[in-house]
Structure 1
Amino acid sequence: MVLSPGFTMTRSSLTGLAEELASRGYVVVGVDHVHESYGTTLPGGRLAACAACPEQEADARAFGDKAVRGRQADVSFVLDRLLGRHPVWKGARLVDRSRIGMTGHSLGGSSTSWTMVKDSRVRAGVDMDGPFFVPLPGEGLSRPFILMGAGEVHEPGGKDFTWGRDWALMKSWKRWLTIQGGDHASFTDYTVLTKRSARDLEITRAYVAAFMDRHLRGRGRPLLDGPSGAFPETKFWK
């Protein structure tokens, strides 16, 4: 399971989700995208700052396109290093190559669909509140995907038109959910610092885990079939 954080954020922002997935037996790989966070510690104690921040501030749309393509290359490189003939992690034999999923928040979510387009090893994907900076190709995406948005921005007809555009090109199992009253940080550990406490993170953990269990392990998960009394804040759109 690959986790990709939002722009300027580190992999630690998705620790709660990583813990949930690991507790269910998934091997979880959190990716720090170097030069896209405020600080990434490299081997030897070096610190890489956010070299991409000025570029994003100058032209967010152009940067989004470039960053999504760069992140896809990052994730594919990580999978190469884990699954190649000489893996860099001694526990690599624990990874089931046929059951690889990816979940991303914000820019990480934006990158998930494009990573699936370019790398067939990723079998299921979750976009948490990220716009599609790079549109799906005309032939679409034929693997399971779930959109999880916060508040009204990512509702059908909301400010982000890219979800509606690319939704039609998702040819396999799919869901479009929003957390009512949520905000952009709702899918990260940062939510525990807000007035909503840990509730949004609880919702995120439940739905992402159910999705991966269903599509990577073939386990029935009724939570994904429609509104749940356990999580009334979660709205099913399609």
Structure 2
Amino acid sequence: MPYRKRLAVLAGLIAVGATVPTAAADPSDTPFLPKPTGPHPVGTTSLHLTDVDRPDPWVPEAGPRELMVSLWYPAKTQGTRRAQYMTPKESELVLQGSGVTDVPPDVLSRTRTNSYTDVVPAGGKRPLVVLSPGFTWPRSSLTALAEELASRGYVVAGIDHTYENFATTFPDGRVTTCAACTLDVEDFGTLAVESRARDVSFVLDQLTRRSALIDRSRIGMAGMSLGGASVGETMVTDPRVLAGVNLDGTMFKPLSESGLSRPFLFFSQKVDEPTWDRDWQRLTGWRLRLQMAGAVHASFADYDMLGQQIGVDLGSSLPGTRSVEITRRYVSAFFDRHLRGRPQPLLARPSTQYPEVSFVRDGG
């Protein structure tokens, strides 16, 4: 299947102190993200970053590459104003772009989060994890994972890759949509992966220069779908990223034949994907490949869980918040091992607590 078509199929199924929208009071039937399990309250803020040295790769006439980034971080105390999951307009465009028309268009904007605006970060330098979402999906689609990692003491940066998703809102009120969805570009997957790697490196430049919260020696990355495919390219081109997780992402660009020696985790639904077999052979360091029974593509973001809550069946057999619970647990264990040096028996053998997860290949 051509790259563009494969991407379309997948899509269908700085300094802390800036401001983010605050959610309105939540009705009892509102969608929700499960509470994170770490010891820290979670704060969040948003950043508008501009790479003046790089024109936008998809809409050159727009000028320099602009990005919106969400930061989640461990806070000293819990706040009083919950952060909004997304705006009503973003909800409308995400649902419309996904072909979901039988629910209120603003329903995703009412999702109850567990992160708070205008809260002071906890002290000390923290490891950083960068999150890259799936093609057409905004950075908010990985909020449940971000909140979990932040509650466990990580700073988390979620990137909106402008013009690659259904909706990105900028501080001046502009809302960009998925211009890349309509481009007729040869080998789009490779170009997109390379562009995302440049986005991530630029964001790392900005964060490591401007934020006192971040330990520059402990940086990891996780991505879902196209974001997952971009993790390997980012690690090949940017040695600052020490460990990476690909969540159900076809590897549109092969890893370098010279190999990647840093830790890498493939975590997917139960499918055969030849690019994972190909790139498994090019991983020369710690490596692990897991599968989640009952999962669908959306299970590795918030949308399997939220789809069930708003009455949209995406085909998963994982009930309630189970997909988020499993994804959070294994991704957290991976970064705890490789960015903090903490032993993780969960990554050594199958767990009776998570019987849905099978070890396909273990190179660790």
Q: Same fold (TM over 0.5)?
A: yes
Alignment match, 1:170: 283
Alignment match, 2:300: 187
Alignment match, 1:51: 179
Give a deviation string over 1:68-106, Cα, whole Å, max 9, x none: 00000000000011113xx2xxxx111011110000000
Whether 2:219 is the aligned partner of 1:94: answer: no
Alignment match, 2:135: 7
**Of 322, 342, 355, which residue of structure 2 is paired with 1:199?**
322
Instruction: Tell me the amino acid that sits aligned with residue 137 of structure 1.
Output: S
Q: Following TM superposition, by how much is the alpha carbon of 1:206 offset from its aligned partner in structure 2, in angstroms?
A: 0.2
The structure with more radius of gyration: 2
Alignment match, 1:217: 340
**Of 79, 99, 119, which residue of structure 1 is paired with 2:238?**
119
3-state SS of 1:165 partner = helix
1: CA distance, partners of 2:261 / 2:327? 24
2: CA distance, partners of 1:19 / 1:32? 17
Structure 1 gaps, min length 5: none
Whether 2:229 is the aligned partner of 1:140: answer: no
**Of 145, 157, 174, which residue of structure 2 is paired with 1:17?**
145
Alignment match, 2:205: 80
Give a deviation string over 1:109-156, Cα, whole Å, max 9, x none: 0000100000000000000000111111111101000000112x2xxx
2: CA distance, partners of 1:45 / 1:2? 25
3-state SS of 1:52 partner = helix
Give a deviation string over 1:186-226, Cα, whole Å, max 9, x none: 11111212363211110000000000000000001100001
Whether 2:154 is the aligned partner of 1:26: answer: yes
CA RMSD of aligned residues (A): 1.1
Give a deviation string over 1:140-181, Cα, whole Å, max 9, x none: 101000000112x2xxxx2x2000000011011010000012
1: CA distance, partners of 2:202 / 2:220? 15
2: CA distance, partners of 1:10 / 1:225? 33
1: CA distance, partners of 2:205 / 2:329? 29
Q: Following TM superposition, by how much is the alpha carbon of 1:43 offset from its aligned partner in structure 2, in angstroms?
A: 2.6
Instruction: Tell me the amino acid that sits aligned with residue 330 of structure 2.
Output: Y
1: CA distance, partners of 2:207 / 2:344? 29
2: CA distance, partners of 1:110 / 1:164? 14
3-state SS of 2:179 partner = coil
3-state SS of 1:9 partner = coil
Pick the structure with more helix per residue: 1
3-state SS of 1:175 partner = strand
Instruction: Output the TM-score relative to the length of structure 1.
Output: 0.91
Pick the structure with more strand per residue: 2
Higher relative contact order (CA 8 A, sep 6+): 1
Alignment match, 2:349: 226
2: CA distance, partners of 1:162 / 1:66? 17
3-state SS of 1:130 partner = coil
3-state SS of 2:267 partner = strand
Structure 2 gaps, min length 5: 1-128, 309-316
3-state SS of 1:38 partner = coil
2: CA distance, partners of 1:45 / 1:77? 23
Instruction: Tell me the amino acid that sits aligned with residue 282 of structure 2.
Output: L
Instruction: Tell me the amino acid that sits aligned with residue 286 of structure 2.
Output: W
Paired residues, what number? 223
Alignment match, 1:103: 222
- Greater alpha carbon shift after TM alignment, 227-236 vs 188-197: 188-197
Alignment match, 2:54: none
Alignment match, 2:117: none
Alignment match, 2:274: 161
Alignment match, 1:149: 268
Alignment match, 1:37: 165
